[in-house]
Structure 1
Amino acid sequence: LTGTVNAAELARAAVLAMGGQGAGGKPDFAQGGAPDGAKAEHGLAAVRAALG
């Protein structure tokens, strides 16, 4: 997936869906944090949607 999918964009989508402020990193490695771990499924759904 490297070169096809931007990890920072996926992380940002997940974190925002979970109520966080944002995420960042490199195209092949990114991280972020969110205040509500109970919304993890929302984050996963956002990543699935971003992947199409």
Structure 2
Amino acid sequence: SLFAGVTKDLTDRVKAGELIGNVAQQFGGKGGVRPDMAMAGGTDINALPAALNSVEAWVASKL
């Protein structure tokens, strides 16, 4: 399982549910929930490192 949290001052630009959904999709899963906190799971563990490496660029694109 993966978890993501975003401080309330940034949730208008970076939503935890969107972030975790994007990462989970890359390793065969799904997830989401709230703008400030979300969780996900996936099935393709081999794709997880690349999915995690994409987080920084995804967040930067939202800021």
| Secondary structure, aligned partner of 2:54 | helix
1:10 to partner: Cα distance: 0.7
1:40 aligns with 2:48: yes
Aligned residues between the structures: 51
The answer to whether the 8 A contact 1:19-1:36 is kept is yes
Larger Rg: 2
The answer to whether the 8 A contact 1:13-1:46 is kept is no
Q: How far apart are the structure 2 equivalents of 1:49 and 1:16?
A: 16
**Greater share of strand:** 2
The answer to whether the 8 A contact 1:12-1:23 is kept is yes
Q: Deviations over 1:6-52 (max 9, x none)?
A: 110110010011122x2111111101110012211121133222112
Aligned partner of 2:27 in structure 1 is: 18
Task: Extract unaligned runs of 5+ from structure 2.
Answer: 1-5
TM-score by length of 1: 0.76
TM-score by length of 2: 0.66
Q: How far apart are the structure 2 equivalents of 1:42 and 1:35?
A: 14
- The CA RMSD measured in Å over matched residues stands at 1.5
**Where does structure 1 differ by over 4 angstroms across 4 or more consecutive aligned residues?**
none
